[in-house]
Amino acid sequence: MAAEAARFLAPRAWVGSGWAADVLLVAGADGNWCEVRANCDAQAAGGATRLAGPVLPGLVDGHSHAFQRAIAGLTERSPAGKDDFWSWRDRMYAAALRITPPQVEAIAAHLYAELLANGYTQVCEFHYLHNGTDGRPYADAGEMANALVRAAQQVGIGLTLLPTLYMRSGFGALGLREDQRRFASTPASVLAIADGLRGAGPLITGGVALHSLRAVDAAALAEVAAAARGRLPVHIHISEQRQEVEDCRSVHGQRPIEWLLAQAPVDERWNLVHATHASRDELAALRQSGAAIVLCPSTEANLGDGVFDLPTWLGASGRWSIGSDSHVTRSWVEELRLLEYSQRFALRERNVAARAALTESTAAALFGGALEGGSAAAGLPLAGLALGQRADFMVLDGEASALLGVPDEHLLDASVFSSPSAPPREVYVAGRRVQAVETAPAFIAAMRDLWGAGRLG
């Protein structure tokens, strides 16, 4: 956190739901905003660091599997037969089964540096690689989790670590498949990892995750939900694939979200990842619970998952965040752009998010939604340039090609919908500018150790 108060003056900054001019931003010693004042005169801004471009709040990456950064670009050759999420999963397991803690640390550090460079200031790590490559527990149950913590601390990003419960291979199964041996865990083991994060550092916090309804039974679901209630954010993959929906209906007689709401005390601390094939009735019931959804547009597109019903969710003022998930892109701009464009493809209409959210600007609807929902995903006050929120922000490059000549009021629109996008000039976390850390050499070495001259799978 900031050791002392830090003062900044932004020529323009995104405050609330729009641009404000000459904004004084003061981060307290605790790393949170203690003053945000627009139209600030020169005298009041005396001594403030003048920022070199328009300022946006930092965003939360609400869903990450860091080890999957090691396969980005390596699953784009189709094997014989049908190629879908399930065949991709088998190839992803090739990485999950061989990666070591030092490799995870190197890959995660490089990934987290990429996320930071693009304006993500907090990442929610959905972590289920708990055991050794042979499936036996490490002497320290937090071995892999600690590697992720060190990676985040190395580059300076905030981390919400979500140790993930994974107990069985599918609905009605009695255990895991052999190629899922590294995922084996219990409610007690994942809660112990989460609780062990206390004192790990000012930017490190914990939550808990349930891999999916197919991976946990009702008793384990209830145990984790009860232990986390009122103190930890809870994440779960749900309704990502049609097969998952049909399998849930076959075993439980209900759709996944319908069954979850009947079994667990779902509330505002819950974050449902994907929800791609949720029905309108399920979304209505979920909205009443106060839970949020984490959307991962680039991964959902890459895996052929389908298109989320964004108009229904935005029309109900549902909370949501974005996640980079499998990390085929590490840019929030690309995620938001693809989220809107997928709706346009499906509906053959334009500015879908703006109309659903009853706002004029699609970029504002998307950015504002991702910003608000990010706090729910991370379990922290990260909702923008406002009092009490963590002092995370990015300084845009006003001289970038996509922004040249754009009227001030359209800077966010152009940032999202004009290419090529440019990374921010500067990124700040808890009031401190993040300095670039060299992560590429260790990342390259890890990739060579993993894949050499061979191919995935």
Structure-token match 């401190």, residue found: 432
d(CA 26, CA 4): 10
Q: CA dist 99 to 118, 280, 448, Å?
A: 26, 40, 12
- Cα-atom radius of gyration of the chain, to the nearest Å? 21
At 217 the three-state DSSP class reads coil
d(CA 384, CA 318): 18
Neighbours of 274 (CB within 10 A): 27
Q: CA dist 26 to 34, 35, 119, 404, Å?
A: 6, 5, 19, 29
Judge contact between 165 and 186, C-beta under 8 A: yes
Beta-sheet pairing, 158-165 with 204-206: parallel
Given the residues 61, 305, 309, 325, select the one marked as catalytic: 325
Look up residue 73 and give its DSSP letter.
T
At 410 the three-state DSSP class reads helix
Judge contact between 207 and 273, C-beta under 8 A: no
* Residue 83 is a catalytic residue: no
Judge contact between 366 and 314, C-beta under 8 A: no
* Residue 274 is a catalytic residue: yes
Given the residues 63, 127, 211, 274, select the one marked as catalytic: 274
Evaluate the CA torsion angle 42, 47, 52, 58 in order and state its sign: negative
Instruction: Spell out the residues 6+ positions from residue 340 whose beta carbon is closer than 8 angstroms to its own.
Output: 351, 352, 353, 362, 366, 416
The residues annotated with a catalytic role in the active site are: 274, 325
